[in-house]
Amino acid sequence: MSFWWLGFIAVVDWLSASSVFGASQVLALNLKDCESRSLQNSERVQQTELELSAQQFKVDSTRSNLWPRLSFDASYRYLSVVPSIAQPKGAALALGDNHNYSIGPVLNWMVFDFGATQSAAQAQQVLFNAKNEELRNARRQSLLGVRLAFYRVSSALEQQALVTDSLKLAQSQYRDIKNRSQAGSSSRIDLLASHREVLSLEGTFREVQTELSNAALDLLRQTNDSRTEFDFSRPLRSSLVHGLPDNLATPSVLIEAQKPSELSQLVTEAEVKVANHPGVVAMKLQAESLELMSNSIHSGLYPKVQVQLKSSFDYPNGPALERVQQNTVSVGLSVPLFEFSRSRNEASEKSQLALALQTRTQSLEKDYERDLEKVRIQLRTLESQKETLSTLSEEATQLASLIYSAYQNGRSSFLEVQSANLRVLDARVQLARNQVQILVSRAQLQSLVNEK
């Protein structure tokens, strides 16, 4: 095996493949490939890239305020009363006309504002530089996250192999002691002690298996891998090449996962419930708001027509010192001709921010789906452990009683009695913790899927 391709393959020999596994698939995960997929598919990186693009549009939009803005304006106004000056012999000199209009290009340029616009443009450029550093940091954090997740998988596989070896030995010893007990050559105390060891290691194996499942889900989530639909909550067949990597080489890991027939329906239901989560809905609405703002700003590129109707008492009526009721109808047209793409940049900024928020929403949905799967795995593990812990507590009580009887008959020491009593306490505490953890997991499950 090549030094650069150190393998970690997990298989539990004490499980029968035909009885445990249905349709299964081997997931070959290589650290270098995981790093590459993480950089390409990371929602955090994609979101930061979109925010960086939006900030660039913001910089360009702000800088455009430094230059002239050319537009075409046209207006028409109708006045019901035109002021006039009386002339000799009863004549009147009208000061204007009922119909008034103005049409032509308009150039606006802020020539001097004590550097306000220039400072604003520089501020946006500094924010762009800061966002660029955020992108670099996001890529670095993405690499760190996928490496940590990969080594968690490697560690969980190593622990699984070690626990499996111990469990196989304990099971073998228990079978031997059970046979000897049936033949009358072994005591009830030895049988209960041996069975206790098996039950304890089975509980440890389930915990390690849960850790492996969570680590695998985290690793696939880091790479945005669609294979998170596979079920990692049941014991995986594995055989491990012992030895963990001692440097940042690029090892590979193989995990065999199964896809039960009922899992696809559970995943579909979970996706529907997660899509209605208030946190997801809130982000979707914010993204929709930004998209509407982008459309609003982009509409500024088209002509604007404004109509005004007005009826008022005016004084004076031009040069005539009299009050007059004036009725006015006016229509205005404005078309931007050239503005250094200010409106386009502002619209593009909002559009990119909307896309960034949509990416963040998708990331949140996937995080909720991953958390939902983790809770489901945890709940299944806890419920399977409950019966084992109950048996362990009962047998620990029986064992303590037998050891105390042996102490009374002088066949054991009081130290053994104390150890047996401590094991009873430990078994009962584990059972109580299991029951509380089941309640906590159910509360977490309800929080993720409850639509209220």
pLDDT band at residue 76 under the 50/70/90 scheme: very high
**How many distinct helices (H) and strands (E) make up the chain?**
9, 9
CA 137 to chain centre: 18
Task: Report pLDDT for 16.
Answer: 31
Which DSSP string corresponds to 174-214? HHHHHHHHHTTSS-HHHHHHHHHHHHHHHHHHHHHHHHHHH
> 204-216 pLDDT, tens per residue?
888 887 888 788 8
Of the CA atoms within 13 Å of residue 75, those in its CB half-sphere come to 14
What separation in angstroms does the CA of 302 have from each of 295, 298, 305, 335? 12, 8, 10, 6
Task: Report pLDDT for 26.
Answer: 61
pLDDT at 449 > cutoff 80: no
Structure tokens, 70: 């050319």
In this prediction, residues 309-326 reach a mean pLDDT of 85
List Cβ neighbours of 248 (8 Å cut-off, separation of 6 or more). 147
Task: Report pLDDT for 54.
Answer: 92
In this prediction, residues 115-128 reach a mean pLDDT of 90
Percent of the chain that is helix, strand, coil (3-state, to 5): 65, 15, 20
φ, ψ for residue 73, nearest 5 deg: -120, 140
Task: Report pLDDT for 256.
Answer: 53
CA distance 337 to 41: 41
> 376-401 pLDDT, tens per residue?
878 877 887 888 888 888 888 888 88
pTM score over 0.85: no
pLDDT band at residue 128 under the 50/70/90 scheme: very high
> 395-428 pLDDT, tens per residue?
888 888 888 888 778 777 778 778 878 878 888 8
CA distance 232 to 211: 10
In this prediction, residues 352-364 reach a mean pLDDT of 88
For the chain, the average pLDDT equals 78
pLDDT band at residue 307 under the 50/70/90 scheme: very high
In this prediction, residues 296-322 reach a mean pLDDT of 86
List Cβ neighbours of 300 (8 Å cut-off, separation of 6 or more). 336, 343
- Grouping H, G, I as helix, E, B as strand and the rest as coil, residue 25 is strand
List Cβ neighbours of 116 (8 Å cut-off, separation of 6 or more). none
List Cβ neighbours of 304 (8 Å cut-off, separation of 6 or more). 332, 333, 334, 335
> 223-268 pLDDT, tens per residue?
877 655 555 555 454 443 333 444 434 456 655 555 544 434 444 4
Which tops the pLDDT comparison, 10 or 324? Answer: 324
Structure tokens, 205: 């194996």
Q: Yes or no: say if 370 and 221 are a contact pair by the CB < 8 Å rule.
A: yes
DSSP letter at 8 equals E
Q: Yes or no: say if 55 and 284 are a contact pair by the CB < 8 Å rule.
A: no
Task: Report pLDDT for 372.
Answer: 80
**92: containing domain:** 3-449
Task: Report pLDDT for 339.
Answer: 86
Task: Report pLDDT for 369.
Answer: 79
pLDDT band at residue 129 under the 50/70/90 scheme: very high
Counting the structural domains of the chain, the total is: 1
In this prediction, residues 77-82 reach a mean pLDDT of 90
For residue 101, give the CATH number of its domain. Answer: 1.20.1600
pLDDT at 153 > cutoff 90: no
Q: What type of residue sits at position 221? A: R
> 15-44 pLDDT, tens per residue?
233 333 344 556 667 788 888 888 888 888
Task: Report pLDDT for 330.
Answer: 92
Q: Yes or no: say if 153 and 244 are a contact pair by the CB < 8 Å rule.
A: no
Query: Among 40-49, 132-141, 388-397, where is mean pLDDT lowest?
Result: 388-397
Task: Report pLDDT for 227.
Answer: 59
